[in-house]
Structure 1
Amino acid sequence: MDHTLVLLCLVIAGASLLKGMTSFGFSLMAFPILLNFYSPLILVPMLTLCNVLTSAQIVLTTKVKKKNTEKPNHWLLIAGVVGIVPGVLLLQTLDVDTLKVIVGVIFVLLSILFLSGFRFKIKHPIRAQIIAGTTAGFLGGALSVSGPPLVLFLTSMKFTNQQFRLHFARFSVLTSSVAFIGYFLSGMITGEVWKLFFISFPILILGTILGQKLSTKVSIRFFQVLCISISLCAGIWSLITGLQL
């Protein structure tokens, strides 16, 4: 097997394990690494399709008490869909190095904010949902990575692990599905995209299932710090490669 495909399998294994544990971080971990070997026009649609399936699996298998899911997040979902459209258009216009720098700056800044103890004081939940949803949707459409702004929003809402996982996965299912339709209409779903997806598929499913089993053994604080630390590392790596340092 080609060494690039071996790397692909290893990265997908680690990213799907993380996704199963947290509902977050699949593209965040995979995108900056694989972007050094694949065109974003191939990589982003492939990772988006992976996100749809893994998120759907988490939604279907995550059980929380009904009262814990009563906080409405309709505006978050609507704003996420709206943000997808300019993100998909941006993907078709930017070069790889510019994408890497944008990813790096966003990830590093948001990660530092979180790790420093910053949390949004959400006085207007609908406004907060619109801002977080639009930003996350835009990043999802352009980079297949919607995580950092959504993580800050959901942690500021003081969700439990299972609440966090369920809300994040629901958002990802909807926005990734819409983004994938956009890529399809733009002619970006090619044979190479399907090839990489089908190579990744069995590893993707196994890693997600294992991550889900581990998720109940992770404390809330460790869970949050793990997510953001990965975001920080991914951002630094993206900046270094994008600036060709």
Structure 2
Amino acid sequence: MEALPALWAAHAPPAGTLVLCCLAVAVAGVLRGLTGFGFALAAVPLLSMFLVPAQAVALVICMQALVGFRDVVQVGRLVEWPSIGRLTLGAVAGTPVGVALLAWLDPAAMRLAIAALVALGLAMLLRPGRAPLPTAEGAGPSTRGALPTGVLSGLFGGLAAMAGPPAIVWFMRGGHPPATMRASLMVFFFATSIVAAPMLVWNGVLGVEVLALAVCALPVLILSTSAGARLFARTSDAGYRRLALGVLAAMALASAIRGAADLLGG
């Protein structure tokens, strides 16, 4: 037991870093609670202002893994579990491939390609007369396409820490109710974080310092997610759809800007 205070003293984050981290997590947590996704989109750029970008990504993944157990308990009854099972299985297969491709493909070019794919998904969602994917009569929501969508999410996550867009587009095209989509995405990102975390530990990115910062900021994430959930309760179905489309557009724009900046900088 005496070793714990010594371990904390050796790896405790500086007070200034902790305050800034909590502020960034609070902003991103509200978006997460409202939409079920977008936490990494908001948190990683903010955290990267005072952390090494790789640490920012590792911190986000670590926090999603930690808070995910609470999410399963809170929103598990709303989750479309057959879809999540297939999406997660695909992500398990796709994530290592994405990480491996990252080692020899140009990350900047890949971010531009991801931005183009997300934009294509947006175009599909905005197409006039778009209808949800059909389901069998008397059955629940269709799981058709969930497995390859999960693989694509894993590839996106491994290449650019952006696992969300394929799953978001798939849920929106499936005509799932906002509450189901929000809950399912929260649990899906928990699952993908569990998949990614060991790889980050293996590569030395997720260490004791990042874990200590994640544990300190976890109460802020829980409180801000709850605040976003209260906002979600006041949001109409149409309002949620517009918000989801806006966050997707922001993801595509952020990926395109970063990719272009990296290409020009290189």
TM-score normalised according to structure 1 size = 0.80
2:234 to 217, 222, 227: 217
Give the match for residue 175 of structure 1: 192
Distance 2:218 2:144 in 1: 37
Distance 1:205 1:84 in 2: 27
Residues 220 and 182 from structure 1, CA distance in 2 versus in 1: closer, same or farther, beyond 3 angstroms?
same
Distance 1:201 1:113 in 2: 36
Give the match for residue 10 of structure 2: none
Residues 112 and 69 from structure 1, CA distance in 2 versus in 1: closer, same or farther, beyond 3 angstroms?
closer
Give the match for residue 89 of structure 1: 100
Confirm or deny: 8 A CA contact 1:54 1:205 kept in the other structure.
yes
Matched, 1:205 2:218: no
Identify which range, 29-38 or 175-184, moves more after superposition: 29-38
Which ranges in structure 1 are unaligned for 5 or more consecutive residues? none
Confirm or deny: 8 A CA contact 2:133 2:175 kept in the other structure.
no
Confirm or deny: 8 A CA contact 2:125 2:172 kept in the other structure.
no
Residues 4 and 74 from structure 1, CA distance in 2 versus in 1: closer, same or farther, beyond 3 angstroms?
closer
Deviation at 1:217, TM superposition (A): 1.4
Which ranges in structure 2 are unaligned for 5 or more consecutive residues? 1-13, 137-141
TM-score normalised according to structure 2 size = 0.74
Matched, 1:76 2:70: no
1:164-190 CA deviation, whole Å, 9 max, x = no partner?
122222222222101102211232212
1:237 to 241, 251, 254: 254
Q: Over aligned residues, Cα RMSD in angstroms?
A: 3.3
Matched, 1:161 2:195: no
Deviation at 1:13, TM superposition (A): 1.5
**Match runs of 1:95-110 below 5 Å:** 97=108, 100-110=111-121
1:43-102 CA deviation, whole Å, 9 max, x = no partner?
22211112223333222112647xx84755532221121112123334556677556545
Deviation at 1:10, TM superposition (A): 3.4
Bigger Cα Rg: 2
Give the match for residue 31 of structure 1: 44
